[in-house]
A and B are shown apart, each in its own frame.
Chain A
């Protein structure tokens, strides 16, 4: 799995003498807990709109989700309580976030999603590649553009010719089919 986990397993509650000192409301955790509760609320509303059809099994499509939504609500309430007691995150998760980098990666996917059908896979994929590279702080845009075009072209030809998977076509891709 690609998710590195932390070496120090969570210390048991009340184990550290510092726990009492920082028994302050943790705002990020509170925000998270409230969001979770709101989502659970919306889901509960959505469950109630599934029309109840009495079935032979007597367990309709609502039963299982109701259990899960209840679990989410109980957990959400517990997180609210934990947030009041100072939150649960350790130093690693409290570290700074590079919002510009994050936004560039996210925007790249949105741009890819909306432009792919119009300008074709190779330019749209290259755009995504360059935006992600910029999000990771690369300033060598020329090198990135070149790498992006080579990669997307190889992927395009490999998948469409080798594996007959169809990818969106634009002017450049039409050129490839014309050359065929």
Chain B
């Protein structure tokens, strides 16, 4: 019951007129960036970080949460009508959703996505409300050794789960960690990897890294392909509303998607892609109309969309209760906490209950706003898709440069921005995932700090990671999750030969 008293307090914060306004702006912005190709929630939050430095932290996080949830709704609109996912977790909805749109059933596809997102989002937020305080109880027992082991586990799972290959995921992660090492080492005051460049002493700012890797990298990639692609926006024909048949076929996938998405989202594995793939596979197997899959089955939109939103809420559980970011957006949110001098984790629930519970309560509010924004106003969002690409990307880069400059008032940062953009483009061309770079950049220095702290306490005895049972089991899990795909591959090989 303590939890619900805390949530009631949080609602008090979230329902203040100024915070309702921030939630509204956040959901609007989030939907817009979800709809627009080329920009995602991680980038938008990063761009807003310098701007919100003077805003009250509770309001700023309500704004960010709105953007985060909003992008999940908006992304589905783009994948259904354009067949180009606005963000990666909506990719699966593009398969069935776009087929439905082409068959003139775009309205019901959008509706099942929006209502499914609302139901899954609300249920998963409820899950977050219950699970986060429980995890806090566990986290209070964590020492530096356990935190280090947990971060190693997150590293392992991020490498395995994001992208198409463990090896490439691991490389992307290591590149990110090394970028995070640049600058002055806080514990000894020594400069690392600055190669004599004074501007590098303060390190690569997270905001600059996110804008470079996502905005500039994406723009470079889009520019390199623009001449060769043709896109067509499907118009919404017919009724936007779902028929009784549509409802009947949607409600179970919504609930199943939620059940798949939320727990997988809370794992230190990151992202909403895996749950959407899983949900799609399950709906295909359970459907009474398996023959419709591939030609526009409504279950194939309802399930993955619900899973997507439930996972988005799940990602917030480790972020808030452990301070562990497991997706690109969560990593940027962690950076936002750091900007305010706050450290998410068990202590934050005790020291700033208004902030944490205000944020969680605003998720409920945001979900209701998003349902209203997305169903009747979908036509408005579709108009965003008609912005010509040259103007859209021109605008994105102007904002990217402004955001970068605002961080440190330094033109040198723009050169860093371009270099990171080129790095991101190169990784993309060689099929490397980008999100692990950002996670490594933010989590790497934290992991190093915990490791050195643990070793300082144990007076340099490295066995501390193996004698603490919790730390040892987390590390064992990390080894298993790294080796499991490899073992599976080796095991499968002889059978095919």
Contacts and interface: CB of A to CB of B under 8 A. Distances in A.
B370 interface: no
Given A1-B328, A32-B426, A78-B167, A136 B223 contact: yes
Interface stretch (B15-23, B36-44, B346-354, B358-366): B36-44
B224 A53 contact: no
Given A65-B192, A106-B220, A165-B51, A72 B225 contact: no
Contacts, number: 268
Interface residues of B, number: 104
Interface in B100-120: none
A89 B431 contact: yes
A177 interface: no
Contacts of A38: none
Contacts of A172: none
A134 B388 CA distance: 12
A101 B227 contact: yes
Interface string A85-101: 00011100101111101
Nearest to B216: A109
Contacts of B489: 12-13
Contacts of B431: 6, 88-90, 93
A142 interface: no
B43, B95, B171, B398 pick with most chain A CB within 10 angstroms: B398
B50 A165 contact: yes
Main secondary structure of the interface of A (DSSP, over half): helix
A43 B179 CA distance: 11
Given A3-B433, A6-B164, A110-B418, A137 B390 contact: yes
Interface string A139-178: 0000010011001100100010001111110000000000
25 contacts: A1-B214, A2-B38, A4-B84, A5-B91, A12-B489, A12-B492, A12-B493, A15-B496, A53-B188, A56-B456, A57-B460, A68-B174, A75-B174, A79-B167, A79-B171, A93-B428, A97-B225, A98-B223, A104-B223, A112-B401, A121-B402, A130-B394, A133-B391, A134-B390, A167-B406
A128 B223 CA distance: 14
A13 B417 contact: no
A59 B451 contact: yes
B399 interface: yes
Nearest to A92: B431
Interface of B: 37-43, 50-51, 54, 84-89, 91, 95, 163-165, 167-168, 170-171, 174-175, 177-178, 181, 185, 187-188, 190-193, 195, 214-216, 218-220, 222-228, 271, 273, 277, 327-329, 388-391, 393-395, 397-399, 401-402, 405-406, 409, 411-412, 414-415, 417-418, 421-422, 425-426, 428-431, 433-435, 444, 447-448, 451-453, 455-456, 459-460, 489, 492-493, 496-497
A179 interface: no
Nearest to B169: A75
A137 B229 CA distance: 12
Interface size grouping (class) on chain A = 35 or more
Contacts of B429: 89, 93, 97
B193 A43 contact: yes
A58 B390 contact: no
A91 to B, nearest CB: 11
Contact of B165 (A29, A59, A88, A166): A88
A135 interface: yes
Contacts of B497: 14
A135 to B, nearest CB: 5
Nearest to A115: B411
A29 B85 CA distance: 27
B174 A71 contact: yes
Contacts of A97: 224-225, 429
Contact of B430 (A59, A64, A75, A93): A93
Contacts of A51: 190
Contacts of B225: 95, 97-98
Contact of A147 (B54, B85, B391, B417): B391
Contact of A144 (B51, B228, B273, B394): B394
A18 interface: no
A133 B394 contact: yes
B187 A61 contact: yes
Contacts of B426: 32
Given A57-B455, A101-B223, A3 B218 contact: yes
